[in-house]
Amino acid sequence: TNSPVTVTVTGASGQISYGMLFRIAAGAMLGHDTPVRLRLLEIPAAIRSAEGVAMELDDGAYPLLSSIDITDDPRTAFDGSGVALLVGARPRTKGMERADLLAANGAIFTEHGTAINAVAAADVKVLVVGNPANTNAFIAMSNAPDVPRSRFTALTRLDHNRAIAQLSRKTGAPAADIAKVAVWGNHSATQYPDLFHATVAGRPALDVVNDEAWLTDDFISTVQQRGTAIIAARGSSSAASAASAAIDHIHDWTLGAPDWVSMAVCSDGSYGVPDGLISSFPVTCEAGDYTIVPDLEIGDFSRTRIDASVRELVDERAAVVELGFAAG
Ligand code: NAI
């Protein structure tokens, strides 16, 4: 058995956390030989509810769950944190302007980034789930100058998994036969799910599909709009699938993955994405590290779409710099 890892979850009383915590406790995220110390961070008004979740976690009698702490203090929550899942965020409510939303989240992710910088484990892995996820991760990273930039990531694995699901439906191939799917850019409606490198049972996916209109008119928008479609059908936002994707993200980053996955990570300038921007790329994962897949050929069709999503990220960055949450 490995030594226990401290896993901090913010927004612990929320829907995504409810879909995530029990699987983390069961070993689905860090493996079945790594005990977990859970630290649940919530705002004061939701502490009581977090206590209820903790009662249920107790009742799972999970052999790998060493301890559960609940707090409203980020310094306590991130103390010694090896994995930090930043799920809690301020949702957009009716009548709220975009600038208000950025300001509310800017304050939260400045506070959390500062605390991570001060007290987290030296090798902390940070995953931001709360929206706007890429820009929230950028803010946290900007406020944690002593933590390597590579440790700050945002969730686009849900979009990646959605792309696999659509390709699987279209071709009739099981998800396990699909490889080398990529999601580029922002976790927003501008994201670009890319099938030009994808394979189905080893064959080029677009040859197997053989339907150009499906790619341009159907696939991309279905993946981009999937969150909205789920809200329309279910009456509330995707929570279990987001939880599952967050677990996949940390699992693969920590333990490695046989295939490409998509992660929003700090750009090193690859593929023309400005250095320092948190943008989604196809990556490979091995032994606790990820690497942006190098040297892919990017045609005009993809280039236009990647650039549009990256432009949105550049604008979001400019807005939070303007508000004073990060240096320009
Ligand atoms: P939710 O509203 O059910 O839960 C959010 C929780 O965060 C609440 O319990 C709230 O009290 C807490 N919270 C707010 N501010 C906090 C703070 N400063 N510190 C600690 N906790 C705080 O929302 P849900 O459904 O769990 O979603 C969480 C976030 O994930 C949302 O921002 C949502 O937009 C985002 N999301 C991201 C996805 C992605 O793929 N990146 C997919 C789906 C949702």
Q: What is the rounded average pLDDT of the residues 5-23?
A: 98
Cα 14 to ligand 1 centre (Å): 6
User: What DSSP state is assigned to residue 46?
Assistant: G
Is the C-beta atom of 282 inside 6 A of ligand 1?
A: no
User: The tokens of 141 are what?
Assistant: 């990273």
Helix%, strand%, coil% for the chain, nearest 5: 45, 20, 35
Amino acid 94: pLDDT: 81
**Domains assigned to the chain:** 5-154 (3.40.50.720), 157-316 (3.90.110.10)
Please tell me if the CB atom of residue 190 comes closer than 6 angstroms to any atom of ligand 1: no
Q: Write out the catalytic residue numbers.
A: 187
For the segment 82-89, the average pLDDT, to the nearest whole number, is 98
71 lines ligand 1 (CB under 6 A): no
| Residue of 153, 190, 223, 237 to test ligand 1 pocket, by largest number of atoms within 8 Å of CB | 237
Q: In what order do the strands lie in the sheet with 199-200?
A: 178-179, 199-200, 203-204
The 8-class DSSP code of residue 219 comes to I
40 lines ligand 1 (CB under 6 A): no
Q: What percent of the chain has pLDDT over 90?
A: 94
Atom of ligand 1 nearest to the CA of 237: 25
Considering only 95-109, 176-190, 208-222, 239-253, which range has the smallest mean pLDDT? Answer: 95-109
Answer whether 84 contacts ligand 1 (Cβ < 6 A).
no
CA angle 279, 254, 174 (to 5 degrees): 75
**Model confidence over 221-273: pLDDT tens digits?**
999 999 999 999 999 999 999 999 999 999 999 999 999 999 999 999 999 99
